[in-house]
Structure 1
Amino acid sequence: MTADFDLAAIGRGLAFKGALGNVDTALDATDAIVITAAPGTGKTTLVPPLVANRVEGRVIVTQPRRVAARAAARRLASLDNSNLGDRVGFTVRGERSMTDETRIEMVTPGVLLRRLMDDPGLTDVGAVILDEVHERAIDTDLLIGLLGEVRQLRDDIVVVAMSATVDAERFAAVLGDSDPAPIVSHDSVAHPLDIRWAPPPGDRMDERGVTPGFLRHVAQVAVDAHGHEPDTDILVFAPGAREVSVIAMHLRDDVRDADVLELHGQAPVREQDRAVSERGAGQQTRIIVATSIAESSLTVPGVSIVVDSCLSRVPMYDSGRGMSGLVTVSTPRASAVQRAGRAARLGPGTVIRCVDERTFAAAPAFGTPEMLSTDLTDAALLLACWGAPRGEGLRLPDALPATAVARAETALQALGAVDAQGKATALGHKLARIPADPRLARALLDGAELVGSRVAAEVVAAVNDDIRADDADLDATLRALRDGRHPQHRSWSREVDRFTRLAGRANGSTRADSVGLIVALAFPDRIARRVADGVFQLASGTRAGVAGELAGGEWLAVADITRATSRVAAGTGAVIRSAAALDEESALVAAKHLTTDRIEATFTDGRVVARREKRVGAIVRSSVPVSVKAGVETEAAVRRALQARGLDLFEWAESAVALRSRLALLHRVIGEPWPSMSDDALLARLDEWLAPEMSALAAGKSVSKIDLTSALRRLLPWPEAVAFDELVPERLRVASGAMIRVQYSLHDDVNPSAVVAVKLQECFGMLESPRVAGGRVPVIFHLLSPGGHPLAVTADLASFWAGPYAQVRAETRGRYLKHPWPEDPYTAVATAKTNRRLAAEKGD
């Protein structure tokens, strides 16, 4: 039997050693616990061997990044005085150091997720420790949900979640059964931390991203700090690998007596190892420039000064442009506190923040969980393969956002990876076992048949690992990788070998645009065509800019695109970061499901103008005018135009407006079967009332010739339509015998009304005000002077004659002496004639 780990020797000098008894006690009572302690206290080093001493089987420890998994394994093996890969090993994408005797295995969450697809019961595993759960990486969040179901299958597996922050209650609630899982907290001695502020003279960011001036400022702050304390190691935080490289370049130019190292996921493994190792006796002090990787998941020993740019790069999905990308944001204050804590891990330290206090206070308190802000296609496929489509039934730290899940499921259905119910297909299970985005996995399999397994694997390996392309030229980057001139050649080569094996043996024919074809197979919606110098239209509808040699190409397959407003974006709001040349034939092969050949119609000067357009998504390949003839295509074009422009497309005659108003009043006051006259309702029933007119439009008839009055009459309900003119008459007879037009309220008026505008003298003797709609709506009389000017408004004629009439008579009859103004309107003759005309008629 393998000897236990010597916790006393391993934990020598580590603060978390004092909490091991509490961890033991908690594990005696339950098989799921949450541990919270500050970064650098030793929980990642001490908890795995403690758990390994308690359980049968291997202990799996997840680290959110590959470099952290390698470093944690290497450090624990060193403290255990064993060779890496013997008792302690690691497995990350493309690299493994393990034996059958390995007791503790450090892995990335993605490795464990795919292992669960093959072995849902985690055979031979005694415990899983999820480290850095506070970072809220999507893979870690998913593991919490899946491991909850594993624990229902197995009552002997231990699950531990470890966090560097105090948000432990959330994870305790998810991991617990009927009650929350116990929390073991460890408060280490807080060494004094001197906080300084070094705001830049200019902006940190502009429309192009992080400004060169700000990066120079961060480097200068580190140079000054080194000048004051030349024997102290310094840790500099930058938002991304590019900024790390720029700051490191400035430091190497300005500092000769320090070793400047880069620490990020794309840095050579040897340099990563040097950055996270103890500085040996006689070695130069170090200035380590790192991304957020060093916030909590990695310990950089010997550091007592931190220089913080207070910027971070986070994944974000842009729903408006339909693209994912990394976005630079202000570092959340909680993360900035963790960064600062790296300086005071072992003694007094200093943090220099390259912002002012007001800017720091305006930053968000916490970061957004990756699950709520990024593309969920890969996660949705894994959940479908697990048997929990859309995460249904899983206890997750946060519910998956419904809109993002639906978008991911649509993408997976297009790949053939899930069915209409969201369940994984046989192809979906196959794609899930390929450690890449499902779209890249599908491109690997399909592309191998077209260009050969090796070429397809080379492209997928480069895109999947987000290898930066100079001037966005992926073809040039692939040439550098193949020739060994690219710094990531070795890691890329390992990935290529692995993807080649997964693709199987296929000997497609190499073609000039092989790289572009594979990218296009993965992301057909990102196929792009040039519309101006340096500006490309993507099949998705987005426009983006690109510089360099790619700017003059005709077709591109875009591997990576990001939001930006730099000069390169050329006003589009997006920049192509990686792409390869493509020819039109390959574009049609890759995007055959997006290709259309149809008649497009527009209304110009009131008439249908048709063009035959061939498209790839939003890209117009050709557009030629065609004669307008009635048919399926032209009628479909008319429908699209109607849906786009609505009923305002037509010229509404007065009779059509009147009929619509009458029908609308009946719908409002009576309801069914009288139909709604709203725009939405009419557009939804086009086939019931407008079909002949749409056919006429499709045949070239002008909209000015369309009779909407006759069309609307098709919506009259039968047999109720027999009473239509009685319920809402077009004209109303007044006392003079005249038939006066009734003005009904417009179709969208929420207060239905019927109005008659008539000369006051024509209503003498009318004692009862008429009503319409079966007596439900009183007619409102606008009583006019003989000259047609308004005198009074009433819905109760009897009350008007009894009261206001006398005042109206007194004020008005002097101006209209030729017309009758009787004192008794009840018995007077209703007329539109003058007094002389009336007298003449009596004389006759």
Structure 2
Amino acid sequence: MIQTEALDRLPVRDSVPGLLAALDERGTAVLYAPPGTGKTTLVPLALAGLVGEGPGRRVLVAEPRRMAVRAAARRMAWLLGQETGEAVGYTVRGERRVGPATRVEVVTTGVLLQRLQRDPELAGVDVVLLDECHERHLDADTAMAFLVDVRATLRPELKLIAASATSDAEAWADLMTVLEGSGPAPVVRGAGEGHGSQFFFAPPPGGIRPAHGTWVDPALLRHVAATVRLALDRHEGDVLCFLPGTGEIARTAGLLAGVEAEVLQLHGRAPAAVQDSVLRGGSGRRRVVLATSVAESSLTVPGVRVVVDSGLAREPRTDHARGLGSLATVPVSAAGATQRLGRAGREAFGTVYRCWAAADDVRRPRFPSPEIKIADLSAFALRVACWGDPSAAGLALLDAPPAGAMAAARSVLASIGAVDRDGRATERGVRMSRLGVHPRLARALIDGAPEVGVRAAAETVALLSEEPPREYGDDLAGAWRTARRGGDAYAARWRAEARRLMSSLPPAASGRAGGPEGTADGGTAQGREAREGQGQGQGQGSGDDAVTGLITALAFPERVARARGEGSFLMVSGTGAEVGAGSGLRGAPWLAVAVADRPVTAASARVRLAAVIGEETARTAAAHLLESGEEVHWEGGDVVAREVRRLGAVELSARALRSPDPALVREALLEGLRSAGPELLHWTREARGLRERLAFLYRVVGPPWPDVSDAALLERTDDWLEPELSRARRRADLARIAAGQALQRLLPWASGAAGRLDELAPERITVPSGSRIRVEYGGEQPVLAVKLQELFGLRETPRVAGVPVVVHLLSPAGRPAAVTADLASFWRDGYRSVRAELRGRYPRHPWPEDPSSAEATKYTKARQEGARGGGRAAGAGKG
């Protein structure tokens, strides 16, 4: 019997006539209705003519999650007084409850995409309602794009509705008709907000550290648990608490031990029986339901009167360069918080506690990040290639796929033969797209089945398509054995998925028919090893490793990894990987990594799930990365020349080369010069002085004088280091190259300016005493270090290339006494104090009162007088 009273209580009922009229007139509409108003349950029944007086239609409702599919179908069937599978049915991957009388079928967006690719016209379907568009899941965005295309080109009579509680209705209205050019689709707004709710901010104490990666400050979880206890004390009814992930749910459940309520955990991986029991309601005892974002939309959790919102959500992140994914904990968007708010007022007036400060509310993003912007796009790229638009440029998408992510996706698809050079789907790619798994897993299933058998390949791929629970361990072979023995919810889903995958492959895929496992004859050594193990008690020991290893390596060839230390591995992609401290995988020589993530701050990826393999399997799976060749490079301070065989970044073998390619040797020597600098050459004092003089002239005069900085010299090695560099074979040969002679080649000989080197930047300057003093050009200005008495009589500062030298005036003992770049000023103002200090220390040396007119000398007074007397006597003798 139809639940008329319950239907009449749904606020969206007043919007149904307007929605039906919009569909009759335009064929498309956006239904914008607040949470809890009945858009997911009443509207499909009205569209199908199961309630009210509308025409009978076949309606397809697409939900983003399996849990929402079951809940929505069950709720609609209850409103009709029926069981699911009658007028209302549902289909999720591996489960279908639909009968001949079914008029409303609820499916996941993934199932809808599969149907669209098999039958773009959706024969027999009159209306498609895409629910919860605001969540911006990639499957939902893709399904919308395909449906808009179908309406514009194949079936203009197909009715299309986008339904949401919080999204940008106008943007969807524009998008749904963009290919028709008929103007925006009508927006039908639902009135009412269920029973309404109020919210309070319950900010945590100070000092809470921001979440990063999948880490959440335990202090925040303690605050959330305390808020749940507060809600239980203050309010009647059940409490629904939103947390970012299953780990936080488990920890918070532990913190709630002893509360006067049943604590339940609701998430996408929870057993179907647990999900159903939560959604059916309690049996009198109060309940606390700890849930991830799966409970944000399309679900009514009976009995809930209070919502506690942690304020956090999880979003995927993809490292396209390394092919690794991870999860990021982020603040829930304003749209998500509104959805969570709506869970409290579904059955009565509700209360919401938001575990953040009011000041933080305005900083939240309006909507969650579109998945197309942050996710791995390999499956999307294959779908659009099969649709006939490899670039997705002609599809109606709110956000275009990022170019880098699409390029990475197309590279993956090309490597597994799913697309051709132009990005168009091959026959093999079309076959992959219809298997309902990620293209990598489809490749592993198709190529692995002939090697290990259909059942073994399907069971392994089923393990990879939904990561096993953490308690199964990180060894994929062990997880396979646990799943085969297990009676838990995961094992049941795994078996159903394995059966689906087996049925999706033709009998020929197994190599031969009739065996108990559908195994093949022939094939590779890895396949034979796997089949031999499979014949021994369902694959114990090395057989399980061989099967899971080959299938995983085929799916993720760039994640094949070789051990490089206890628990440390190097993937052929070049990324390091670490396994857990207590893992049984630590001693494996090779791994095929199935699941890994790389936190932003980590140097290596963390292995979550992997299979043990041998080198032969690694070479088979990653054969496109296998290469041999000469490697000559600078390593450890010298040239290393080897013949190396590599599997990507992993070195398999190497032997020394006696006669390496001279061109490679020269490049290696240049590499050494670039890393260590020209200091590797032989530099005498004269050579360094020449370089400093040339650097000075380049700085103050400019061309044609050459730049002799490290960078400039390394850029012009052909001009000054040949032919010595071409004859060199190792570091010792570089050390024998006379750098000074080589630098002479850079002098501007052609212009004739080289002949003025000693004039513009003399190596030495003759001072009044007759001494030739070296000029140092290593600083900003040339420096002349000379004893003070040797400059007596010199009135002006010496200059080189027009630049005054900086004179370091020394005592008779050669110690610094004064520094000046203006000798005349020093004689006038500074000399007197220096003279007073030095004449007491060095009384035997001359200290004239007027040094600018005195005779320069490098001797003491006595020697100076002796030199004068000797000069006079010599003169008299001549006379």
- The two structures have a TM-score, normalised by structure 2, of 0.74
Hey, what's the Cα distance between the residues in 2 that align with 1:464 and 1:286? Answer: 33
Deviation at 1:612, TM superposition (A): 5.1
Hey, what's the Cα distance between the residues in 2 that align with 1:257 and 1:210? Answer: 25
Q: Which residue does the alignment assign to 1:316?
A: 317
1:596-629 deviation digits (Å, cap 9, x = unpaired)? 44454453675313355544333344566x2553
Instruction: Give, as a single letter, the amino acid of the residue that structure 1 aligns with 2:288.
Output: I
Matches within 5 A, 1:108-147: 108-147=108-147
Hey, what's the Cα distance between the residues in 2 that align with 1:694 and 1:93? Answer: 67
Matched residue pairs, number?
Answer: 777
1:418-437 deviation digits (Å, cap 9, x = unpaired)? 23332222322222222111
1:360-386 deviation digits (Å, cap 9, x = unpaired)? 666545422111112111112212222
1:369-420 deviation digits (Å, cap 9, x = unpaired)? 1111121111122122222223222231112112222222222222222233
Deviation at 1:261, TM superposition (A): 3.7
- Contact 2:59–2:129, Cα closer than 8 Å, also in 1: yes
Deviation at 1:213, TM superposition (A): 6.8
- Contact 2:563–2:570, Cα closer than 8 Å, also in 1: yes
Q: Secondary structure at the match of 2:240?
A: strand
Deviation at 1:242, TM superposition (A): 3.8
Q: Does 1:542 align with 2:545?
A: no
Q: Which residue does the alignment assign to 2:660?
A: 630
Q: Secondary structure at the match of 1:460?
A: helix
Q: Secondary structure at the match of 1:495?
A: helix
Hey, what's the Cα distance between the residues in 2 that align with 1:682 and 1:411? Answer: 43
- Contact 1:151–1:157, Cα closer than 8 Å, also in 2: yes
The percent of aligned pairs where both chains have the same amino acid is 37
Q: Which residue does the alignment assign to 1:475?
A: 477
Deviation at 1:17, TM superposition (A): 0.7
Of stretches 413-422 and 197-206 in structure 1, the one that deviates more from structure 2 is 197-206
Question: In structure 2, do the counterparts of structure 1 residues 784 and 642 end up closer, same or farther at CA, with 3 Å as the change threshold?
Answer: closer
Q: Which residue does the alignment assign to 2:593?
A: 558
Query: In terms of Rg, which structure is larger?
Result: 2
1:775-827 deviation digits (Å, cap 9, x = unpaired)? xxxx865578899999999xxxxxxxxxxx9999999997565899xxxxxxx
Of stretches 53-62 and 656-665 in structure 1, the one that deviates more from structure 2 is 656-665
Q: Does 1:188 align with 2:219?
A: no
Q: Which residue does the alignment assign to 2:788?
A: none
- Contact 1:223–1:254, Cα closer than 8 Å, also in 2: no
- Contact 1:607–1:697, Cα closer than 8 Å, also in 2: no
Of stretches 690-699 and 327-336 in structure 1, the one that deviates more from structure 2 is 690-699
- Contact 2:418–2:426, Cα closer than 8 Å, also in 1: yes
Hey, what's the Cα distance between the residues in 1 that align with 2:356 and 2:115? Answer: 43
Hey, what's the Cα distance between the residues in 1 that align with 2:379 and 2:402? Answer: 14
Hey, what's the Cα distance between the residues in 2 that align with 1:58 and 1:713? Answer: 90
1:483-535 deviation digits (Å, cap 9, x = unpaired)? 13443122111110121233432424325222122112211222233334333
- Contact 1:60–1:105, Cα closer than 8 Å, also in 2: yes
1:679-735 deviation digits (Å, cap 9, x = unpaired)? 99999999999997776456776333568999999999xxxx995556998676899
Q: Which residue does the alignment assign to 1:209?
A: 215
1:108-161 deviation digits (Å, cap 9, x = unpaired)? 222222322222333333332211111111111222322232222032222211
- Contact 2:133–2:167, Cα closer than 8 Å, also in 1: no
Hey, what's the Cα distance between the residues in 1 that align with 2:435 and 2:676? Answer: 47
Q: Which residue does the alignment assign to 1:197?
A: 202
Hey, what's the Cα distance between the residues in 2 that align with 1:607 and 1:683? Answer: 17
Matches within 5 A, 1:672-687: none
- Contact 1:609–1:628, Cα closer than 8 Å, also in 2: no
Instruction: Give, as a single letter, the amino acid of the residue that structure 2 aligns with 1:182.
Output: P
- Contact 2:199–2:354, Cα closer than 8 Å, also in 1: no
2:8 alignment partner, one of 9, 12, 29? 12
- Contact 1:310–1:336, Cα closer than 8 Å, also in 2: yes
Deviation at 1:56, TM superposition (A): 8.3
Question: In structure 2, do the counterparts of structure 1 residues 679 and 364 end up closer, same or farther at CA, with 3 Å as the change threshold?
Answer: farther
1:201-234 deviation digits (Å, cap 9, x = unpaired)? 995868983466765664564455445556x222
Q: Which residue does the alignment assign to 1:830?
A: none
Q: Does 1:595 align with 2:656?
A: no
Q: Which residue does the alignment assign to 1:491?
A: 493
Q: Which residue does the alignment assign to 1:838?
A: none
Hey, what's the Cα distance between the residues in 1 that align with 2:4 and 2:722? Answer: 86
Q: Does 1:67 align with 2:70?
A: no
Hey, what's the Cα distance between the residues in 1 that align with 2:55 and 2:734? Answer: 80
Question: In structure 2, do the counterparts of structure 1 residues 238 and 728 end up closer, same or farther at CA, with 3 Å as the change threshold?
Answer: farther
Deviation at 1:296, TM superposition (A): 1.4
- Contact 1:544–1:576, Cα closer than 8 Å, also in 2: yes
Question: In structure 2, do the counterparts of structure 1 residues 183 and 731 end up closer, same or farther at CA, with 3 Å as the change threshold?
Answer: farther
- Contact 2:64–2:140, Cα closer than 8 Å, also in 1: yes
Question: Gapped runs of 5+ residues in structure 2?
Answer: 512-519, 521-526, 534-541, 766-774, 785-790, 792-799, 811-817, 832-848, 857-879
Q: Does 1:462 align with 2:463?
A: yes
Hey, what's the Cα distance between the residues in 2 that align with 1:596 and 1:636? Answer: 23
- Contact 2:630–2:643, Cα closer than 8 Å, also in 1: yes
- Contact 1:628–1:698, Cα closer than 8 Å, also in 2: no
Q: Does 1:149 align with 2:155?
A: no
Hey, what's the Cα distance between the residues in 2 that align with 1:378 and 1:728? Answer: 71
Of stretches 505-514 and 626-635 in structure 1, the one that deviates more from structure 2 is 626-635
Q: Does 1:438 align with 2:439?
A: yes
Question: In structure 2, do the counterparts of structure 1 residues 629 and 166 end up closer, same or farther at CA, with 3 Å as the change threshold?
Answer: same
Q: Does 1:277 align with 2:273?
A: no
Hey, what's the Cα distance between the residues in 2 that align with 1:468 and 1:642? Answer: 50
Q: Which residue does the alignment assign to 2:450?
A: 449
Of stretches 517-526 and 191-200 in structure 1, the one that deviates more from structure 2 is 191-200
Q: Does 1:76 align with 2:82?
A: no
Question: In structure 2, do the counterparts of structure 1 residues 200 and 502 end up closer, same or farther at CA, with 3 Å as the change threshold?
Answer: farther
Matches within 5 A, 1:637-676: 638=668, 641=671, 645=675, 651=681
Hey, what's the Cα distance between the residues in 2 that align with 1:171 and 1:586? Answer: 49
Q: Which residue does the alignment assign to 1:107?
A: 107
Deviation at 1:186, TM superposition (A): 2.2
Question: In structure 2, do the counterparts of structure 1 residues 88 and 553 end up closer, same or farther at CA, with 3 Å as the change threshold?
Answer: same
Question: In structure 2, do the counterparts of structure 1 residues 651 and 733 end up closer, same or farther at CA, with 3 Å as the change threshold?
Answer: closer
Hey, what's the Cα distance between the residues in 2 that align with 1:658 and 1:401? Answer: 51
1:5-61 deviation digits (Å, cap 9, x = unpaired)? 999788321111111122133324322221211222111113323434578864322
Q: Does 1:529 align with 2:552?
A: no
- Contact 2:202–2:354, Cα closer than 8 Å, also in 1: yes
Hey, what's the Cα distance between the residues in 2 that align with 1:669 and 1:162? Answer: 72
- Contact 2:213–2:327, Cα closer than 8 Å, also in 1: no
Deviation at 1:444, TM superposition (A): 1.2
Hey, what's the Cα distance between the residues in 1 that align with 2:334 and 2:720? Answer: 61
Deviation at 1:276, TM superposition (A): 2.1
Q: Secondary structure at the match of 1:536?
A: strand
Instruction: Give, as a single letter, the amino acid of the residue that structure 2 aligns with 1:209.
Output: W
- Contact 1:442–1:522, Cα closer than 8 Å, also in 2: yes
Matches within 5 A, 1:398-417: 398-417=399-418
Deviation at 1:482, TM superposition (A): 0.9
Q: Does 1:305 align with 2:335?
A: no
- Contact 1:439–1:523, Cα closer than 8 Å, also in 2: yes
Question: In structure 2, do the counterparts of structure 1 residues 733 and 208 end up closer, same or farther at CA, with 3 Å as the change threshold?
Answer: closer
Q: Which residue does the alignment assign to 1:349?
A: 350
Of stretches 354-363 and 185-194 in structure 1, the one that deviates more from structure 2 is 354-363
- Contact 1:608–1:701, Cα closer than 8 Å, also in 2: no
Q: Does 1:373 align with 2:408?
A: no
1:316-360 deviation digits (Å, cap 9, x = unpaired)? 113575410223333334322321221123332122344555666
- The two structures have a TM-score, normalised by structure 1, of 0.77
Hey, what's the Cα distance between the residues in 2 that align with 1:807 and 1:91? Answer: 98
Deviation at 1:475, TM superposition (A): 2.0
Deviation at 1:448, TM superposition (A): 1.4
Instruction: Give, as a single letter, the amino acid of the residue that structure 2 aligns with 1:516.
Output: G
Question: In structure 2, do the counterparts of structure 1 residues 787 and 448 end up closer, same or farther at CA, with 3 Å as the change threshold?
Answer: same
Hey, what's the Cα distance between the residues in 2 that align with 1:786 and 1:238? Answer: 73
